[in-house]
């Protein structure tokens, strides 16, 4: 079988030998009865890392975000969110379908929105308007290019939210990356938010799983809705074991992914028709544009396959590359060589 260098996403990683052993040896029980000791251990561990009272294991990041929305809104409410965010763009319209909310989108700077922008978006208390209830943030920001949400801005947004009686949800699918790159502990990011979701199946390399953390009272509500959404699972300790293994072994190494992403970006900046700001690459995501005179992004993706490299065209001129634990430093060299052969040097 040919080994592709797969830069389409950090969701494509395969479990390592050590992780597979942890899966095989996991103690299990029926988690719908709350009796899976490995799931319970994972939930306690993540709650502790995020400095929250409780957390709940769910199958996906999408379900985690949607449960956070469902548990903290009423149908007809408005949720303030950034225009290129994951819950608004890539969750199948679930906010409207499952919670009956509408989003109020704010355009951010590489995904980052400011407290002052949010303040303007909060609806007056008048019966003409929907009720503004929740603010959703994303850290790191996927379509922003793996941008780290500045902690000072999160604090300012949280203080504004408290003042105006609003709740804050943080989509922290890649909060691990933000924390490793910034040196700011996970709980410091989480303390400003009522609910936080984190994913085990992205940079951390587990095959599946996300958690949602918050107060005991919130997680009690989330638990009920998880059942309603069909997310109650049984002997799921085999999956939680992979998550625990990932937390124990794969957080610190994220810095290698960040270095690889920076190296990719620096190399790409030398190539013809590539528009990129390497200094803006903060974590494991690289987004760049190719100019009109060059081939389009879909054709570039096809050409790169010939060099054994898979990339994600996210538009006619935009490409996203994501580094992860199945991509080595040598792979970055091979990838840059491929790009150079297709695009040429400046
Ligand atoms: N993102 C995936 C795709 O859906 C785009 C990817 O390849 O990056 N929040 C954020 C910030 C995400 O990036 C993702 C997945 C999710 C939530 C949803 O997670 P899953 O795929 O587990 O439902």
Closest ligand 1 atom to residue 199 Cα is 22
> Per the structure block, which two tokens stand in for 31?
């988690």
The per-residue pLDDT for 292 is 77
With a Cβ cut-off of 6 Å, ligand 1 is lined by 9, 11, 60-62, 65, 86, 90, 138, 142, 171, 173, 199, 201, 210
Q: What is the pLDDT of residues 203-225, one digit of tens each?
A: 999 999 999 999 999 999 999 99
CA distances to 32, 179, 183, 226 from 221, in Å: 15, 28, 32, 9
Ligand 1 centroid – CA 61 distance (Å): 6
The per-residue pLDDT for 293 is 78
Q: Whose CA is nearest to atom 18 of ligand 1?
A: 61
What single-letter DSSP state applies at residue 193?
-
CA distances to 190, 212, 247, 276, 306 from 199, in Å: 14, 9, 11, 28, 32
Q: Whose CA is nearest to atom 16 of ligand 1?
A: 61
Q: Is pLDDT of 104 > 90?
A: yes
CA distance 253 to 196: 22
Per-chain mean pLDDT for the chain: 97
Q: Whose CA is nearest to atom 3 of ligand 1?
A: 90
Residues whose CB falls within 8 Å of the CB of residue 299, separated by 6 or more in sequence, listed in order: none
Q: Is pLDDT of 112 > 80?
A: yes
CA distance 159 to 150: 15
CATH architecture, domain defined by 17-249: 3-Layer(aba) Sandwich (3.40)
Q: Can you give the pTM of this predicted structure? A: 0.97
Q: What is the pLDDT of residues 2-30, one digit of tens each?
A: 789 999 999 999 999 999 999 999 999 99
Q: Taking residues 230-254, what's their average pLDDT? A: 98
Residues whose CB falls within 8 Å of the CB of residue 227, separated by 6 or more in sequence, listed in order: 32
Instruction: Identify the residue whose tokens are 């979701």.
Output: 197
Residues whose CB falls within 8 Å of the CB of residue 237, separated by 6 or more in sequence, listed in order: 26, 27, 28, 29, 31, 36, 37, 38, 39
The per-residue pLDDT for 267 is 98
Q: Taking residues 319-326, what's their average pLDDT? A: 98
Domains 17-249 and 253-343 share a fold: no
Domain map of the chain by residue range? 17-249, 253-343
Q: Whose CA is nearest to atom 19 of ligand 1?
A: 61
The per-residue pLDDT for 346 is 87
Q: What is the pLDDT of residues 256-296, one digit of tens each?
A: 999 999 999 999 999 999 999 999 999 999 999 999 777 99
The per-residue pLDDT for 2 is 76
CA distance 179 to 188: 9
Q: Whose CA is nearest to atom 8 of ligand 1?
A: 9
The per-residue pLDDT for 111 is 98
CATH 3.40.50.2300 given to domain 253-343: no
CA distances to 75, 177, 189, 202, 264 from 182, in Å: 37, 8, 11, 18, 20
Residue 338, classed as helix, strand or coil, is: helix
Rounded to 10 degrees, what is the CA torsion of 178, 179, 180, 182? 80
Q: Is pLDDT of 197 > 80?
A: yes
């Amino acid at each position: 079988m040919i080994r592709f260098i797969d830069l389409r996403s950090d969701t494509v990683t395969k479990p390592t030998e050590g992780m597979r052993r942890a899966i095989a040896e996991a103690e299990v029980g029926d988690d719908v009865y709350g009796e899976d000791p490995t799931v319970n251990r994972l939930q306690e561990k993540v709650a502790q890392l995020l400095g929250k009272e409780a957390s709940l294991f769910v199958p996906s990041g999408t379900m985690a975000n949607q449960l956070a929305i469902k548990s903290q809104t009423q149908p007809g409410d408005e949720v303030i969110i950034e225009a290129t965010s994951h819950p608004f763009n890539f969750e199948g319209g679930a906010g409207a379908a499952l919670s009956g909310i509408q989003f109020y989108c704010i355009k951010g700077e590489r995904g980052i929105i400011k407290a002052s922008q949010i303040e303007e978006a909060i609806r007056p208390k008048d019966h003409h308007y929907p009720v503004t209830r929740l603010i959703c943030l994303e850290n790191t920001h996927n379509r922003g290019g793996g941008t780290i949400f500045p902690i000072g801005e999160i604090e300012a947004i949280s203080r504004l939210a408290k003042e105006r009686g609003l709740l804050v949800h943080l989509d922290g699918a890649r909060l691990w990356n933000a924390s490793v790159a910034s040196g700011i502990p996970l709980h410091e990011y989480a303390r400003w938010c009522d609910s936080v979701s984190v994913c085990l199946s992205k940079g951390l390399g587990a095959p599946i799983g996300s958690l949602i953390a918050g107060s005991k009272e919130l997680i009690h509500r989330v638990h009920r809705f998880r059942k309603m959404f069909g997310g109650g699972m049984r002997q799921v300790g085999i999956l939680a074991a992979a998550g625990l293994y990932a937390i124990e072994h794969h957080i610190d190494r994220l810095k290698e992914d960040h270095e690889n992403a920076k190296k990719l970006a620096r190399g790409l900046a030398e190539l013809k028709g590539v528009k990129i700001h390497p200094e803006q690459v903060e974590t494991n995501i690289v987004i760049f544009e190719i100019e009109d005179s060059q081939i389009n992004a879909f054709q570039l993706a096809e050409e790169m396959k010939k060099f054994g490299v898979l990339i994600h065209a996210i538009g006619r001129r935009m490409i996203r590359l994501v580094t992860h634990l199945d991509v080595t430093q040598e792979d970055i060299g091979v990838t840059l060589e491929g790009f150079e052969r297709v695009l040429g040097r400046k």
